[in-house]
Amino acid sequence: MTTQSSPLHILFFPFLAHGHLLPMADVARVFALRGVKCTFLTTPANVTCIEPTFHRTNKFIESKNDTHLVPISVSLISFPSAEVGLPDGLENASFASHPEMRHKFFQAFMLLEKPFEQVLKEINPDTFVSDTFFTWSADVSARTGIPRLAFNGMGLVARSAQEKLHQILESLPDEADKFVVPGLPHQLEMHRGQFMFPTKNKEMLTMFKVSNEMDARSYGEIVNSFLELEADYAAHWREVVGRKAWLIGPVVLCNEELIEKSNRGGNTSIGTEELLQWLDSKRSGSVVYICFGSIEHSNISLEQFMNIAIALEESDRDFIWVVKSSSLEGYNDWLEGFEQKMHKEKRNLIIKGWAPQLLILNHPAVGVFVTHCGWNSTLEAITAGVPMITWPMGGDQFFNEKLIVEMLQVGAAIGVKEGPYLDSRQLIEAETIKNVIESVVGVGVESEAMRKRAKDLKEKAKAAVQEGGSSYSDLGNLIEELIARRNTVL
């Protein structure tokens, strides 16, 4: 039975993809280290993704011998793979590589409503945090009386712009190729091809619209960001949109130890010792790191891969390139040939599959990150103080590019104008890629200023999560508010 002296109990339920599981695991961790009892709910196949984080956290909590700290517990919910025709064990969107499979995955997680409600009644937490994609969880909150905190996984620039876009998309003239998103603190001029319009991917468009409506019905939102990064948009969200949000990030900074940076998210194809030896042999700021996330890799054509490879070779700079499996015709043969060539030169690394991104970005040898601008990758680069070359592909990524390049000025755009929702994507030529890389890692007043801004932002991010910092205080305020609410309704 809950009493006023009992620790606050929060259940966390992330969307089933690496880019959602990992940050919410870090969110649960920062709550647990502030004395909150945390239960993390996921499916059996996704436990291995988050288990190392919780194992280390719980060992630390137990070593403190502090009665105010409670180890994090993991509860399981079955995933209805068979009901929708998915292979047994396919419980993570990162591995749903084909459109048909992604459609089935979408159907499956929509079937989790009743099982989730049953779990919620059994565990009976004071509050639950659910991913914005679980649109039905707002209805579960209303039925059970347990308040819901939404976790969107975006920053507030993207969150504010997307909320505004939902209001104007259908009224936008068909001939409007470029337009300014209205009513925001900055002028965000966007291209039509960067978004999911009603004529393209209606299923995803509907889900985003409904999720925004359901989040508005919730108690508030947890945002993995910090005030100094998005101050204008924190004020906009509170004063113009009129919704509660607590900025408690960057939560990735709770991963301080070498083992946490090297093992976060799963096993890799390269050993930590081998990777560090290679990085240690390189000059400070000389390495180009390329990674397009866990899902976006499928949006790149074989010709584009080849142009990236040509640019990297001609730039004559050391690089680490993270590559994923692909169904593109000719991809595997091309990749095998490129790997053999790079192996002979011994100046570059190609990592297949999952990469220890935190470990790589935080090494002093890395000078630039070529990224798809996913919010997790953006924050990881910011907290490491590494400038970015932005190559957005969809979702919130084009908004994040605006933050990186125009507002913060800690990156350079590769020049992508189209998202993956058109029938074809523009090809970025090798010469362009090479020139943009050189503009960031080369010698010059502008590149030096960019690197300095990136380092300064890193220090601001660290200060935000330390005692007395903006995110540390916001987290404390949220915990106190939830305890006060719990005690009022007892």
Give the active site residues.
20, 131
From edge to edge, which strands make up the β-sheet containing 37-42? 73-76, 37-42, 9-13, 127-131, 148-151, 220-223, 245-247
33 secondary structure, DSSP code: T
Residue 114 tokens, joined:
């009743």
Strands 348-352 and 9-13: unpaired
CB neighbours of residue 209 within 10 Å = 17
Phi, psi of 120 (to 5 degrees): -60, -40
Amino acid at 468: G
Taking the alpha carbons of 125, 131, 136, 142 in that order, is the dihedral positive or negative?
positive
Long-range interactions of 236-240: CB distance < 8 A, separation 24+:
236/156, 236/160, 236/184, 236/185, 237/156, 237/159, 237/160, 240/183
Query: Is the distance from CB of 245 to CB of 220 less than 8 angstroms?
Result: yes
Q: Using alpha carbons only, how large is the chain's radius of gyration in Å?
A: 22
Query: Is the distance from CB of 150 to CB of 222 less than 8 angstroms?
Result: yes
Amino acid at 293: G
Query: Is the distance from CB of 161 to CB of 188 less than 8 angstroms?
Result: yes
The residue whose two tokens read 């180009």 is 288
Length of the chain equals 490
Residue 343 tokens, joined:
């192996």
